[in-house]
Structure 1
Amino acid sequence: MRFVFNFPDLGEGLEEGTILEWFVSEGDNVKVGDSLVQMETDKVVADIPSPKSGTVIACHGNVGDVIHVGSPLVEIEIEGSGERAENIEKENTDTDKPIVVDAGLPVEAIVESEDGAAVVGTMELAGEGTVLAASEESFPKVLATPVARAMAKEMGIDINHVPGSGPSGRVKKEDILNFKSPSTEWSGKTSAIAPQIEDVTYKPLTQIRKTIAKNMLHSKHNAAHMSVFEEVEISLLKEVVTKYKPKFAAKDVKLTYLAFVVKAVAQALKQHPQLNSQIDTENNRMIFRNRYHIGIAVDAPDGLVVPVIRDADRLTIFEIAKAIGELAQKARERKLVLEDMKEGSFTITSFGSIGGIFATPVINFPQAGILGIGRILKTPIVKDDEIVVGNIMPVSLTVDHRIVDGGETTRFVKRVMEYLSDPVSLLMDD
């Protein structure tokens, strides 16, 4: 019996995905749970497992192709069903259309066989609503299709030097065929011939980059952005972090200022619920979130992602620091799953580690606000009528002015600053 497995709906507004790598080809035997194909969606890269055991008879799409939810991915001849398949095909002699079987119910559909290609990845789902964790497989130094790797080896080409034209710079067989190694001429000394440089380089948009572009415009067009800027003196916080960092490190947890910022924001949101809400204009109402799920913007290799620390107000500084480290690591390794990024109620972006001081962060719509943390500066300040060296943390808060007024915005910032100026109070809340 022929079973057609369609690209499943993972929820969270998923409409399409890009094929990064095929793990199977026509004629391969697979079992339930075996990885079939690696797909890149707007949020994660994930391996899609087989929902059936049998023989692969068709793979739909090549590496780099965009597949829409509900479109065929793989056709499988189910084990032990050959006789039934023959009967079905005999009953269908009036048409060349094969029978597609889903959940045991036969339906007619046109299926065209396409050659599968191959490359690298991590994703999804054997049943409705089920999301599998990202693959634990680490990425190779250079992403390439198996065909390209074999050709490079046969032709004596170092694949690490071949520019890739596939998704995320993956090397395809065309890249190997078109690659020209820099040559040298002997004239008593070696001189390298400079390779020709193209005026421009074209690379396809990744699903993540397309989603970032769409979400940024959606936020700017649908929220009334207003930003305020402040500076908070954190010398005491610096002492606390310096003191406890070795103790955290002994437990394989990195303590940073961000853990205290997350805790401060979560506590402040409890006192200023307007910042933990969203507006529902279609139903003429406000939606107040009763839990404090703090999103952390992470500068991942393929673009900005925002994993979420759930119930941050209930966590200790140690637990928050541990969660930040784990989520950041998963983001860098492209192992985040949808569950890691769901239901955020407020977002923090810490751009100061790269070098920025102030910014106007774009709201993670439909949230009410986003807090930006800038680079900490040693600055002269007045303390007890004397000029001393202070440690200043710049903060930038952007809010949706439809939801939050200026007065409440300022009071929220002030509350966050009070917590950061007195970090012991956050430890007491633990």
Structure 2
Amino acid sequence: MIFRFPDIGEGLEEGTIHEIYVQEGQAVKAGDLLVSMETDKVTADIPSPRTGIVLKIFGKPGDVIHVGEPLAEIQVEGEDEALTPVEMASGHLMDDEEEEVAGVVGTLESAGAEGVIAASDEKAAATAGRPWATAGSPARHAPLPASPEREYIPSGRKVFATPHVRSIAREMGIDIRKINGTGPGGRITRDDLEKVAVSSSPAEKTWMAQLWDADDVTYEPLTQLRKTIARNMLNSKHNAAHVTIVEEVEISELIAIRNNYKQKYAERNTKLTYLPFIVKATVLALKHHRIMNAQMDMENNRMIYKNQYNIGIAMDTPEGLVVPVIRNADRLSLFEIAQQITAFADKARDRKLTLDDMKGGTFTISNFGSIAGIFGTPVINYPQVGILGVGRIMEQPVVKNHQVVAGNVLGLSLSVDHRVVDGGETARFMKQIIDHLADPISLLME
């Protein structure tokens, strides 16, 4: 049987082989690990769906495998013959049972009323040019001229793409009817959309046209994580109206409390940083400013207010930025929040974060000050409406009781989606966080 790379969730389109655990000719049982795949957000182990002999692994470490493409050929117990090369090329599976096991998880959907164009437009486009087309319903979208790079596909044909890809196309203003899909069965992938965007951008064309001598540059392939970061950053800047305010807060009392309890937390294998206090202060502020814990749904002309307080913590790793989520942070003690942050930091370092660890965030905190930087302009984790940037603590003169004394000043930067959050609400939200951090006992009083 041919085992194809499955869709393991979150609109996955492709993965890069990170490590191969088996050799050709090796016996495996159902559930034994075949390969490790680096996906958009995590590195996931892919198990064998059946017991048998590994006849072939399609690819080597570093190769990109798209969802639905062959990953391994397994001689299943009780079968006399493996698939022929012709059967492998055609994607044929030996029987319905194998197809159910090895097929891609999930379904493909045909672009229609939820696609880039309205249903009436698609109907008009589908009937345009036909002798039996309904009178009075001309096509509104003219076909693209054929080119060597991209042959025009008649707009009346069915377009196969996942809801995630259709959503990205809609946000980018791309008509997916005019794209040749390169995925399995002609499915349109995110790479297809990116190629269209690049081909339509004069700036990208100019950049790509630059010529370099071989000794002047070093080329390295983009990792799945880096491609996802780039895509998400552009998606956020394209869709959200970013505005950032910055403030300072004197936190000497907070530092004293942390120093008093740091050793006790360490004895329980938990690192107490300033971040748990900031998470706690942010959650309390979110409860008073629910617009900061929401998202805008333009398609349905409504706001979506989240009833849970799930705080994403942006973490730096050698491979790139990851954002694990502390769920129901309002129900957790300071120690429990510190425990989760410590656990996430360990998992991120060891590349053990799962997709579930990074789902469901409603607001994000980025602690760039743990490395360097006093203020910043953090990019919103779209479709969330806000992100809090935490800067470096600076020892500097401050005025207390009309006296100049040494103080410890923390810089904070808050970016919001100005389509959703007005300036006054942004300032009030920031002020409440500042008040809690300046008076940390208040974190226990609400």
For 1:393 and 1:94, the matched residues in 2 are separated by 64
Q: Conserved in 2, the CA contact under 8 Å of 1:4 and 1:102?
A: no
Aligned residues: 338
Task: Say if 1:100 and 1:428 are closer, same or farther in 2 by CA, change over 3 A.
Answer: same
Match of 1:398, SS state, is strand
What's the secondary structure of 1:374's corresponding residue?
A: strand
Residue 95 of structure 1 and its aligned partner are, at CA, apart by: 12
| CA distance in 2 between partners of 1:28 and 1:46 (Å) | 21
The 5 Å alignment of 1:51-130 reads: 51-82=49-80, 85=81, 99-101=92-94, 104=97
Rounded Cα–Cα distance in structure 2 between residues aligned with 1:318 and 1:250: 12
Aligned mate of 1:261, from 242, 256, 278:
278
Query: SS where residue 384 of structure 2 aligns?
Result: coil
Distance 1:316 1:394, change over 3 A: same
- 8 Å contact from structure 2 (residues 388, 415) kept in 1: yes
Tell me what 1:34 maps to.
32
Distance (Å, rounded) in 1 between the aligned partners of 2:87 and 2:370:
67
Structure 2 residue ranges without an equivalent (≥5) = 107-213
C-alpha distance after superposition, 1:357-387 (max 9, x if no partner): 0000000011000000000011211111111
Instruction: Give the conservation status (yes or no) of the 8 Å contact 1:51–1:126.
Output: no
For residue 250 of structure 1, the aligned residue among 259, 267, 270 is 267
Determine if contact 1:317/1:427 at 8 Å carries over to the other structure.
no
2:418 counterpart of 1:387: no
Displacement of 1:53: 0.5
Instruction: Tell me by how many angstroms 1:200 deviates.
Output: 2.5
1:156-235 equivalence runs, <5 A: 198-235=215-252
Structure 1: which amino acid aligns with 2:49? P
Q: Alpha carbons of 1:213 and 1:93: their partners in 2 closer, same or farther (altered >3 Å)?
A: closer
1:80 deviation in Å?
2.2
Q: 1:35 to 1:94 in 2, by over 3 A?
A: closer
Counterpart residue type for residue 24 of structure 2: E
Deviation at 1:410, TM superposition (A): 0.5
Q: CA deviation at 1:62?
A: 2.4
Residue matched to 2:290: 273
Structure-2 residue corresponding to 1:376: 393
Which residue in 1 is equivalent to 2:340? 323
Measured in 1, the distance between the counterparts of 2:381 and 2:264 equals 34
Whether the 8 Å contact between 1:50 and 1:126 is mirrored in structure 2 is no
Look up the match of 1:112. none
Deviation at 1:199, TM superposition (A): 3.3
Amino acid at match of 1:421: A
| TM superposition shift of 1:58 | 2.2
C-alpha distance in 2, partners of 1:95/1:233? 66
Q: What per-residue deviation string (whole Å, max 9, x for no partner) do you get for residues 26-45 of structure 1?
A: 21111111111111111011
- Pair 1:98–1:235, CA change in 2 (3 A): closer
The alignment partner of 1:215 has SS state of helix
Identity of aligned residues (%): 59
So what's the TM-score if we normalise by structure 1?
Answer: 0.74
CA distance in 2, matches of 1:75, 1:310: 40
Q: Is the 8 A contact 1:369 1:398 kept in 2?
A: yes
Match of 2:20 in 1: 22
Could you tell me how far apart the structure 2 residues matched to 1:95 and 1:395 are?
Answer: 57
Aligned position for 1:290? 307
> Per-residue deviation at 1:297?
0.5
Which deviates the most, 224-233 or 93-102?
93-102
Q: Which residue of 2 aligns with 1:365?
A: 382
The 1:101–1:422 alpha-carbon spacing in structure 2 relative to 1, beyond 3 Å, is farther
CA deviation string 1:56-97 (max 9, x = no partner)? 122212222211111111111111233xx59x98xx999996
Q: Which residue of 2 aligns with 1:174?
A: none
Q: Deviation at 1:4?
A: 1.7
State how far apart, in whole Å, the 2-side matches of 1:95 and 1:329 are.
41
Separation in 2, partners of 1:384, 1:332 = 45
Call closer, same or farther: CA 1:241–1:200 in 2, change over 3 Å: same
Q: Is the 8 A contact 2:5 2:104 kept in 1?
A: no
After superposition, the Cα gap between the structure-2 partners of 1:233 and 1:61, relative to the gap in structure 1 and judged at 3 Å, is same
Q: Alignment partner for residue 47 of structure 2, among 43, 46, 49?
A: 49
* Contact preservation (8 Å) 1:293, 1:310: yes
Name the aligned partner's letter for residue 393 of structure 1.
L
- Between the aligned partners of 1:304 and 1:224, the Cα distance in structure 2 is 22
Measured against aligned partners, the alpha-carbon deviations of 1:130-164 in whole angstroms (never above 9, x if no partner) come to xxxxxxxxxxxxxxxxxxxxxxxxxxxxxxxxxxx
TM-score w.r.t. structure 2 length? 0.72
Tell me which amino acid in the other structure corresponds to 1:24: V
How far apart, CA to CA, are the structure 1 residues paired with 2:421 and 2:54? 55
Contact kept, 8 Å, 2:36 with 2:44, in 1: the verdict is yes
Matched-pair contact (CA < 8 Å) for 2:370–2:392: yes
Q: Deviations over 1:215-242 (max 9, x none)?
A: 1111111100000000011111011001
Deviation string, structure 1 residues 261-282 (Cα, Å, up to 9, x no partner): 0111111111101000011111
Please state how far the C-alpha of 1:98 moved relative to its aligned partner: 8.3
Q: CA deviation at 1:5?
A: 1.3
SS of equivalent residue, structure 2 residue 243? strand
Question: Aligned residue for 1:307?
Answer: 324
What amino acid is aligned across from residue 309 of structure 1 in structure 2? Answer: I
Structure-2 separation of matches of 1:68 and 1:373: 38
- Structure 2 CA distance for aligned equivalents of residues 417 and 281 of structure 1: 32
Matching residue of 1:179:
none
- Structure 1 distance, partners of 2:238, 2:88, is 50
Change (3 A) 1:79 1:95: closer
Kindly indicate whether the alpha-carbon contact (under 8 Å) linking 2:251 and 2:438 is maintained by their aligned counterparts in 1.
yes
Equivalent residue of 1:33, what SS?
Answer: coil
